[in-house]
Every structure is written in C-alpha cells, then in structure tokens.
Chain A
C-alpha cells in the first residue's frame, strides 16, 4: 500500500496565528439511533467513548467522537486504526439498522493556533466563536467564508478545522488571509 497523502500535506503559515495542514487522520461516519442501547454499546466498545450530547465532541485516548446531526456521529482515530474500528462497529451493529463508513479521505484537517486564534475564525464564520459559545468540548458545524466546515478546540489556544478535501486549498488560503500579521482585531 502506498503512503496516504492528505490534500495539503505539510502546508503551513505563520501569521498572528499559526495555520497547519494536518496529516491523514481516521474518520468514520456512524449513522443510527443514538437512543438505542445497541448503538451506545457498539460505540463504547469499539471507540471507548460514549455518544456525545448535541453539538459536543468527546475525546478518548487517540480517539474522539463528535455529534454531527441528530443521527450522525463522526469518529476520529488514527488513520491506520480505521479498518479495525469500522469492523468493530459493523460487527457490534450487525443486527441494528445503522451505517458505518470510512470517510477518512473525504476531508482535510487544519490546526489553527495562537493567542488570537479566535479572531482568525471570527473573520470567516458567522458562528459565535467567543469562549462562552465555543469552549472546549464544542464542535461547531458552520461555514468558513463560502464553504461548510467544522471547528472545535483542541487546546488552550488551538482549534482544529475540518472541511471537504476538494476545498482544502481554499480553506488554507482564507485561514492564511485571516491571520495576516498586523490584522489582529483585538476583540476577544
């Protein structure tokens, strides 16, 4: 098997915040009834984390689960761990109406970090990115300029951004533009 190559492998920009394209990561879409015991048990056994509340993301050891819609979850894991997790979930859900599918290659991930990182996001998303609205554990599905995206905190002053793979360059470019040194807003 060849080495997996993500959309913008290695791209980075050092502005008043740092923008980095992240290497491939495992992502698995799970659709099902969150209320069902089978699904809850399957997720817990295969990923080691519970199903998160609306709008939240829960982190485990090398894994995370995000709520994407009332019947859709996204499991994050190591790129290499995907087959095992997919099979684990599929087996556990064999008798349940659910969909488990690998979507690791469909998206691009970025890390945006720095003291004024929220300002970079606030230039691009209509969502409230203030600490009150977008604190740790929240995954906000929104748009960045003209494309859909998801954003969540991964550290004190760091966020991860998820977008579709085909627009990775666009998202990198707008994040870069929003982080130009000297364009700090001094808002948050």
Chain B
C-alpha cells in the first residue's frame, strides 16, 4: 500500500491541503505535491494501462522521464492529454483521468492483448496487415488506431493564451542543480549576461535528496545560499519551471516556461516560449536512472530507486512498507538507507555485483540492512501489484533461490547522462566503459559559425557522478580567482553493466522484461528484431517502436541498444544511439503558436475603406492577407443575386470599387524608362507624361507574372500599378534587378501601395457623379481614355486615372489614405442620385471576363506566356531586349501546338465547371483521357444572360465556331463553342466615351 508518511516531505506544505479528482473520485493532497506524489499518497498506485497490452501500470519515475503515469488533465477548453503526473504540480480543483483503458482503469477489456502477447510480437502489424492492400486503409488502420493510442484529442478551442519572449545572453545555463548553479556562478564571474533555467519549480536538482555537505553546509542550504548569491548579481537572470527544450544552430535555444499551469487562471499566459540567442550554452541537465530488465519489472510497485527516495524525502510518500532494492551500482543504497531511516522496511538489497565495497554499502550494512551480492530478481511476484520477488543468482538462468515477500521494488541499472541538449545540434557522444553510459565527447561539441564549440556539458550531464566530481566538473568553466565549491569525495564501487537479469534468462523471462514501458517493448522484441535482420538501431527503433512516443525512450534507449548490441554481437558504441531531437519533453502547441491565434492568427490587412465595407454588408473574400468585399449583401439577398445586381448596376448606372489593394510602385531616375522597357514586354519609355499604358511583366523564363497600367508622371518618373498579389513581390523583383544586375542604372523605386486609397468609379454615369462631387475637369476632352490628371475632388487632392478594367467609362481615383474614407463618402453621397452602388471582387471578375480581359492567376499559372493569351499586341517587336524575350524564343514557346486563349460559350447557356478540360480522342500513356484545352475563367454573365468562359485550347484561335466537349465532375460532359473571348462591346465604345 502506498501511503503518506507521518513525517517528512521537504517540498510539501502539510498546512495547506488541496482537493483534486482522479477519474472522478475526489482526493486530497498537499501544496507542493506533484499529481504523482498525491496519487501515491492516496493509495492510488494504479495510474494507467500500457499502450499495446493494456497492462496495469503505476508511476515508475519522479521526473520528466516518466513513461507510464500519463494523464488526461482538465476538461473542456482546458483539456490536455498525455501529461506526466510526475511533473504536474498539484493545484486546488485539478482534474485528472487515466488513459488508454475501456471501460475503466480497474476493468480494462484491452488487457486481452496481454494474454495474446505472444501473438503480438514486434512487427506484428507490419507482418499481418499487408494483404489485401486496400484493407489497410479501410479496415486495419482504423481498427488499430482505435485500439491503440494514448490520450484523447482535445475538442474545444484552448481557453488559455500563450506568448513568446526573445532573450539575448552571453551564457545560458540549462539545469538548476548543483552543477548548473556552480556553472552559473562561474559564468557570472566572467562578467557577461547569464541566464540560468531550471525545468522544475525547485533549485538544486537531486542534491538536496542525495548529497551530503557542500562547503560545510547541507546541500539544501548550499543551494539556497547559491541562489541568493546569484540573485545579487546584476548580470544573472534566474527562471524556474523553464525547461531547455531544444538547442539549434547559431546558439539558438528554445526554452519552455510554465507560468500558470500550476495555478490556472483566465487572461494570463499559460506558457511562455523563450527564444534565446546565447553565445555559449552550458548543459547541466543531470542524469536519468535506468531501469533493470528483469521479468515483471513493469508490475505496479516496481520503481526506479532514485524515485522511491524522492517520493519519501521530497513528498513524504512511501511506495510500500517493505521495499526490496535491486541494483548494479552504489547509488541505490541511498534508497535503502533513506527508507530505513524513514522507518520503513528494506528486507534486502540485491546487488548484481560480486563483491562491491564502498561507503554507502558499508553504511547500509551498518544500519542492519541485508545485502545479497551477485544476486538479482528472477521475477516479480504479483500481477496488479508487487507481492514479492523471486531471487536468483545474476549469473544463472533464473533458478529461484529464494522468495522475499515485499510490496515494492526499487531498481537501479545505473545512470545515463541527459545528453539530449548536447546532441540536438550535432554534439557527439562517447561510450564510457567505466560508467556504462554514453557521455558527451568533449572533442566533438556542437560548433557555431566560427567553428568554435558553443555548447559545454557539465556535471552529471557530462558523466560526472558523485557530489565532489559534479562540482569540480562544473567549476572548470570558471575564470581564475573564483572559489571552487568543495564536497567530500566518495568512495564507491564501480557500476557493473547489467542489461538483462539474470544473465542467462530464457525466452519466457525475457518476454516479460520491459525495456520500453510506454510502447510495451520487451527484451524479446529487440532480440527478435535483431534475428530478423534489423542491425541498425534506427531501424530497430521503428520496427519495435522502442523509444518512440511522448517520452522518446528516456528510460529505454540505452537498455534497448545494449540488448540489441548483445544480440548482434557488436559493442555498444558500434551500434550507436538513435538521434536526439528537440523538444526534450513535449511542449504545448499553444506555446509554439504564441500570439498567432484567434484575431492575431495571421495579420489581416485592411484598406482605409475597410470600416465602410464592414458597415455596408461586405461578404468578405481573403485576397492574400487582405480582406476584400466579394460582394455587398443587401437585406435578404443571396450572394449570387448580389453579384448579379452589382454587375448590372455597374453596366447600367455606376459602381464604386475599393481598388486600394492594387500595387502602386514609383520608379524614378534618368534610367527609369530604360528600366521599365526591360521589365515590361511593351515599350514604356515612349509613353508621354500624363498618359497611361497597359503593360505585361514576364519573368526571365518568359512566363507572364504580372500586369497593370503604367502612368508616366514626368520625364524621370513612372508609376507602375501591379496586381494585388504582385505589390510586394514585383517591388522586390524590381529591387533585385536593380541591386544585382543593373546596379549602375540610375533608378530608385518606392512601394507606395499603402500611401493611397484607390477608388474606382465605373459605369456610364461615372462622369456625372464626379462632376457633382466637383473640383476638376473630368470631361472626355480634358481627360481622354488612358490619361491621368492631378486635381481636387470635393476639396480633396486626388490623382485621377482614366483607365478601365470593366469596359465601361471608368475613373480610378488615388487619394492619400488618411483622406480615403472622406472621399469615398463624398462620392457615395454624390452617386446616390445616379444609383451608385459598391461592387465587390466577383462583380469585378465578371465585368472583366465579359470584356475578355485576362486575370493574373486565372488565365496565367506560371506556365503561360503572353503569346498564349493573344497578347502579341502588347509585346514590342522593336525592343532589343526585355525580361523573358529570349525565353519566349525557345522552341517549346514558339510551338504552334501550345494552347491559346479563346472564349467558350456553352450550347445550353450553362456555366462551364471551373478547371474543366476539353477532352480529345484516345488515351495518354498513363491510361488517362487525352485533353485539348482547359477552362481558365468561367462565370454567369448577368449582362448577357448566359454562361461565359475563357480557356486555353490547342489551335484555339484557328478553330472559331468549333464545339468541344468539356468534362464535368459528375462524369458527364458539356458542349461549348469556341468564340471570341470578348463577349461584350468588342469595339470598346463604352469605355471610350
């Protein structure tokens, strides 16, 4: 029975009880408890079911390495799966649910897998569910997904907020144990900016539990003094609950701070993701204890020896009344001693080594603890809870020499340095024979841009064990003159590598030795993988799932690869490790997103007229990061009806368009004309000041990339209009050519897109509206088609362009953004008596399609050249060169077989499906129907009362009048006749009035 001890618990405040629920049952813990310690204190040792076999599992560790005690926490908008009970700090009202069982934790149907375990070996799924192929997707995978899996996925939007924080430091020390504290003091003495972070809520790491005196005082007090000293330093910053998650190139480190997770409240950030640039990173991340592989090492009641004493010393919780300690190293004796001193029974220490001698062993013996050397656990007795252990000689096949009644087993297979952060950015490891562990290779540290090491590992993370050794190792980075912390050296017997207990265990025992608790991988599975030819540790990992999932093999990796190397007959360093990848432990998606959620998920760009649209029924369409009105809905109106109304009103009366999103780029200088002649396919340098010209822009491969109207302002100055999507990248395109190729041309550019609101006044009554607003002459004589003029409208300075993208009489009025709304209001007011109505992007599309005007992104897709679109008139024959000219002369570009632009009119008047293909006879090499063209734009024309479309068709312009079959998504076809793409006003009389 696990229980709270009458005394002890250095981290809990017995004066403050907290209520929480586990699987709906109310329990009580103390302030300072973790969820794991509180559950154990309530006698709740069963904490989950295993992944594959649904075996009952309890907590096995006391820190972030915990593989078993994963919980669904919270509910509703604060629900979060797969949270480790060992790192979850208890708070009032915490709700926890165990995972991976049905219908309940105690009674789990899935446990049937356990009895079928010999039919579910490694690779079972790969081998079994291969045939028939289609069954994987539709039958096997859905079923396996249902039966496997850990926590549930959250269903609600996260109630909490998250944030980032960027920090720039000289030295970042990761880990707040005695090594990290020593390193931070050393770094601080160097004078740079130092930051020290610790993943837990407490400083000192394992030392307060494990260490004796440092500098003549208790480890607890030494830690407290060290923190006080660091707090005094101006150049040192300290953060607890802040985990080093990943180390990346250029000294970039991600750290994950838990702010209110232990005390949830509305409106404050829950996690903060630190994005740190550090010149030097000191990894002081300690070490993780390894389990021993003996049969039944996953039965609830078996725990890592270090964790057993953590629960006793830190939280005053006992795992059992009688605890057998089994070990291959001296450290586990601390557990035997701590339990004995806490008044609990330790019937025996089973030490796999032959005749170890050391201070701790002597002390245990002196306390009267029975120490059996050369022995180990043959198997654990009990199924849902330890009832005893069967003892055997380590050098045997598992023949039982004795059974010891007990209700807990504390195991230690030695300690593995936490080398994750060292390894993330390329730090290499060496196999430490004496310590039986991988530790950082100081010769092969992660290096920065200059080739110098930027990560240093210190303390237990560097393979140093024992207080004195840890302190000395961390102090080595100190500049001269800093006092070294001192602790008494320890005499200890060397660890003996024990990868299987007992050494000669048969298959039956091996198939109950768990390597990876989280993924239910056993010694027998890894051995099977080796027999089946999986020699690489990476392949074995994927085949067996060893070291996968949320804990990423923190307990299992070394044991697993030791078993693999034994099975392969290769040395451990030859087999190597799998790759350590960030994050060290899982971090929340919320913290990664930071401010990028809800309203600020993405920047939403608003024109100066956005507010008017919003107040006047805008039905929005995202256009890049802009929002543009697709149409304006009147009361009770459908989207289709609104578009129809807007098109007709613009053709018959007058429409208003917010064209502010279109790009406006100024190009100025003596070489501006020459520059634009190179950028556009047609001639711009001959344009007269005061005039406008439509132009096409191609990339160097000849493909059409943008179009728009260029206005010549004066001799040296041009204003280039781009598409909405082109504003930024066309400006960048111009700058790239000016800065890299034509650096000696005298041209400056400026992107003025956001300087102006641009208002389109379009339709037969456009002139009358502007004349009513008044202030400048907009008559046909003063402002012919394709001219511009500066002036005033309603007392506001404007620049008016007489250009048309609709085929109607049309003015585009540029006004400074700060006056944009005022001008729009004046025009809308003046337009009322002429029936002026705003129109959105869909009406704009329909209007231009009726006129056969192309749209970048519809008629073009990056593979289309102007010649495909019948735009030869806009390609200068006189110019020596322009971007794309040579590419357009390539054989493929001049191929008469290229599909060319035509208009398409269905015989039945229906609207062709968007993207539809014109089918041709026969099939291609892939057995697909041959095609001879495709639809690029298709709309219902309110003006003409039938469907209109443009498309690219092989020999299209030569096949006027021909009828083609276009496919439909329902498998049928629809007939359409090839016609001119200009459906409306082919003579252009309407726009030139």
Contact = CB atoms under 8 A, between A and B. Distances in A.
27 contacts: A1-B795, A2-B795, A2-B822, A5-B819, A99-B750, A102-B816, A104-B816, A105-B755, A105-B756, A106-B752, A106-B754, A106-B755, A123-B166, A125-B166, A128-B277, A145-B595, A145-B603, A146-B596, A166-B606, A167-B605, A169-B604, A174-B595, A174-B600, A177-B163, A177-B595, A178-B163, A187-B165
A167 B817 CA distance: 13
Interface string A53-72: 00000000000000000010
Nearest to B597: A177
Contact of A2 (B193, B600, B819): B819
Contact of A167 (B595, B603, B822): B603
Q: Which 6 pairs between the two chains have the least Cβ-Cβ distance?
A: A4-B818, A2-B822, A99-B748, A166-B605, A105-B817, A106-B754
A58 B795 CA distance: 35
B599 interface: yes
Contacts of B754: 105-107, 164-166
A113 interface: no
B817 to A, nearest CB: 4
Contact of A102 (B267, B668, B755, B819): B755
Contact of B818 (A105, A133, A177): A105
Secondary structure at chain B's binding surface: helix, strand, loop or mixed?
Answer: mixed
Nearest to B162: A177
A77 B593 CA distance: 38
A133 B267 contact: no
Contacts of A169: 604, 606
A146 B168 CA distance: 20
B797 interface: yes
A182 B260 CA distance: 11
Contact of B603 (A4, A119, A170, A182): A170
A103 B818 contact: no
B723 to A, nearest CB: 16
Nearest to A102: B755
Interface in A57-110: 71, 79, 97-99, 101-107
Number of chain B interface residues as a range: 35 or more
A42 B822 CA distance: 34
B596 A98 contact: no
A37 interface: no
Contact of B669 (A99, A166, A177): A99
B750 A103 contact: yes
Secondary structure at chain A's binding surface: helix, strand, loop or mixed?
Answer: loop
Given A145-B600, A164-B754, A166-B606, A123 B795 contact: no
Interface string B815-837: 01111011100000000000000
B237 interface: yes
Interface stretch (A24-32, A43-51, A154-162): A24-32
Interface of B: 161, 163-168, 193, 237, 267-269, 272, 275, 277, 594-596, 599-600, 602-608, 625-626, 666, 668-670, 746, 748-750, 752-756, 795-797, 816-819, 821-823
Given A97-B670, A126-B275, A146-B603, A177 B267 contact: no
Contact of B755 (A103, A130, A182): A103
Contact of B816 (A4, A31, A101, A177): A4
B534 to A, nearest CB: 43
Interface centre among A2, A101, A174 (most CB of B within 10 A): A2
Interface in A100-152: 101-107, 119, 122-130, 133, 145-147
A106 B600 contact: no
Nearest to A166: B605
Contacts of A102: 755, 816
Contact of A104 (B625, B748, B818): B818
A1 B815 CA distance: 11
B269 A5 contact: no
B755 A177 contact: no
A173 interface: yes
A177 B817 contact: no
B268 A183 contact: yes
Contact of A182 (B268, B626, B819): B268
Given A122-B165, A122-B166, A180-B268, A101 B752 contact: yes
Nearest to A176: B600
Contacts of B277: 128
Nearest to A3: B822
A173 B599 contact: yes
Interface centre among B163, B602, B748, B819 (most CB of A within 10 A): B748
